Amino acid sequence: MQRDTLSRRGVMALFSWTGTAALLGCGDSSGEPKGDGRSVLVLGAGLSGLSAAYELQKQGYEVTLLEGRERIGGRVWTMREGFADGQLAEIGAVRIPDVHDHTLGYVDELGLELDEFPGGDPLYYLDDNRFMHKEGEDWPLPGLKPNELQATLGDTWAEYIAGAFEEFGNPRDGSFPKPGIVEKYDDQIWIDFLRQRGASEAYLPLYTADNGAEVYTIGTLAWMVAEVADQAWDKTYHIRGGNDLLPKGIAEKVGMDNILLAHKVMRIEHDEQGVTVVAEHDGAEVSFSADHLVCTLPFTTLRDVTIVPEFADDKMKTIDGLFMMNAGRGYIQTKTRFWEKEGIGGLKIAKTDTDAERIWDLSHVQAGSSTKGMIVSYTQEKHADAYCGKSMDEREAFALTAIEKFFPEIKAEKLAFFQYCWAEDPWVQGAWTDFLPGQWWMAAVAKRAEGRVHFAGEHTSIWAGWMQGAIESGKRAAQEIVATV
């Protein structure tokens, strides 16, 4: 789930947050290790699996991770090859909001350093209209309502979204969703919630260009839960040297000897005594047994794993039905940061309704003194599907042609291009979980343990689509196992 932040500066002070991380699973506080050498298998060495393993080891458990890929980190993946001047691209997770306590807690524990994404004014390109917007000026969008005409995006966020927080409750104090909320909102997509709150049709393309096309797909409850939880979000960070230093740092603590790469999980057997997992490695089947299991496989890939005996019916339905959204990335390294000449800045330097959707600028979180640019066309949902629907050879031209509409110099400026479509990644088959209308009941079921099988992963957290969700859920699953002692 990807929401705007910088435009909200100024309204944040209106909303306090109670950082009750303990409510959301921050490990055992009694001080006594509980594992006593008991064994745990962890499926998946993304951030959730690594976090679960790390926390369990701290409690004295013997942990083995099985990972299908040849690398750890899953959707936290930094690309360092193919770009001049040692610049890097984040193919998955980019941003760390300053309210993501679980992510920042590990950043701190591992001694990693952060760079802040700078603020700045974006370019807009909506309905073939190219413009920038200064506070206090009218937006050049016919049909806006009087309250929207001069409002900042922070103002409309406060009115349409934050103005409804009280009705929904807050997951950080356990009051989300308040009684009656699920019945009222479960069938609604987020964009219809905005309409219901009074947003005009003319405002919706502006909101979408800011937040991404998924706002037309995701259910109201799924979007709102993260809005409430992260309402105090102000600054946004990136890990100096690449976000993958986070999973790499945890993996180092866990010990690479305990992480078996290129082990594709094929079968899970479980009963009251323990668990057995069969994985494929080097063309052969290998079997592992343990006292407990933490399964962090995205449900898109868990669907292909044989489970004996099958989990409860509602769990199997959730594994089959949970929606994973697509996202496309087209990274372009540029000779210069040409957009800065126009005063364009910030992380999201272009917000558009074109096939390029949004352009994010990662130039300012690169090491060294290079003046080259590193930008990404970041597409979701229908825009991602349009981009990913092209052949590999066509994608660069498709992205550059879309960008050329609002940055005419892009083809002459291009030094290198790298593309990725997350729906094509066999180990995740999508970018992140969006609970669709009617799927809210799956949130509780997805994370519920089935006997000795515990579940973690962004799809089992209120922070679906965030590193924070992966880490929070990994800690929660570890705590569940500790609590069985």
Ligand X SMILES: Cc1cc2nc3c(=O)[nH]c(=O)nc-3n(C[C@H](O)[C@H](O)[C@H](O)COP(=O)(O)OP(=O)(O)OC[C@H]3O[C@@H](n4cnc5c(N)ncnc54)[C@H](O)[C@@H]3O)c2cc1C
Positions touching ligand X (CB under 6 A) are: 43-49, 66-69, 74-76, 92-96, 264-265, 296-298, 301, 305, 327, 422, 427-428, 431-432, 457-458, 465-470
The Cα–Cα gap between 189 and 414 comes to 38
C-alpha span between 182 and 274 (Å, rounded)? 36
Q: How far is the CB of 36 from ligand X (least distance, A)?
A: 27
Distance CA 269, CA 92 (A): 32
Shortest approach of ligand X to residue 293 CB, angstroms?
13
Nearest approach, Cβ of residue 174 and ligand X (Å): 23
Please say which residue, 440 or 463, places its beta carbon nearer to ligand X: 463
Strand partners, 441: none
> Percent helix, strand and coil across the chain, each rounded to 5?
35, 20, 40
User: Minimal distance in Å, beta carbon 146 to ligand X?
Assistant: 35
Q: Which is nearer to ligand X, 206 or 421 (CB)?
A: 421
Contact yes or no for 334/375 (Cβ under 8 A): yes
Closer Cβ to ligand X, 165 or 427, answer by number: 427
Q: In whole angstroms, how far apart are CA 355 and each of 218, 352, 384, 397, 401? A: 20, 8, 8, 12, 9
> How far, in Å, CA of 384 to CA of 390, rounded?
10
Picking from 211, 209, 158, the residue whose alpha carbon sits closest to that of residue 15 is 158
**Minimum distance between the CB of residue 75 and ligand X, rounded to whole angstroms?**
4
Token reading at 92: 């998955």
C-alpha 317/C-alpha 334 separation (Å) is 46
State CA 340 to chain mean position distance. 28
Angle between the N-to-C axes of helices 245-254 and 101-109, in degrees from 0 to 180, rounded to the nearest 10 = 60
CB of 148 or CB of 450, closer to ligand X: 450
Bridge partners, 152 (sequence order)? none
Closer to ligand X by CB, 1 or 162: give it: 1
Nearer to ligand X, 17 or 338 (CB): 17
Rounded least distance, CB 461 to ligand X, Å: 8
- Taking the least distance from each CB to ligand X, the nearer of 347 and 403 is 347
Task: Name, in order, each residue with C-beta under 8 angstroms of 412's C-beta and a sequence gap of 6 or more.
Answer: none
Query: Three-state SS string across 196-246, please?
Result: HCCCCCCHHHHHHHHHCHHHHCCEHHHHHHHHHHCCCCCCEEEECCCCCHH
Task: Pick the closer one to ligand X by CB: 113 or 424.
Answer: 424
Nearer to ligand X, 43 or 99 (CB): 43
Angle at 370 between CA 418 and CA 88, to 5 degrees: 30
Tell me how far apart the alpha carbons of residues 384 and 422 are, in angstroms, rounded to a whole number.
9
Give the shortest CB-193-to-ligand X separation in angstroms.
23
Helices and strands in the chain: count of H runs, count of E runs:
17, 23
Q: How far apart are CB 3 and ligand X at their closest, in Å?
A: 10
Nearest approach in angstroms of CB 422 to ligand X is: 5
Closer to ligand X by Cβ: residue 35 or 97: 97
Nearest-angstrom CA–CA distance, 22 and 49: 20
Please say which residue, 88 or 428, places its beta carbon nearer to ligand X: 428
Query: Considering only CA atoms, which of 201, 202, 211 is closest in space to residue 139?
Result: 202
Radius of gyration of the chain from Cα atoms?
22
Local structure of 459: helix, strand or coil: helix
- Least Å distance, CB 30 to ligand X, is 27
CB of 94 to ligand X, least distance (A): 4
CB nearer to ligand X: pick between 66 and 225: 66
DSSP H helical ranges for 230-345? 245-254, 299-302, 313-321
The minimum distance between CB 464 and ligand X, in angstroms, equals 7
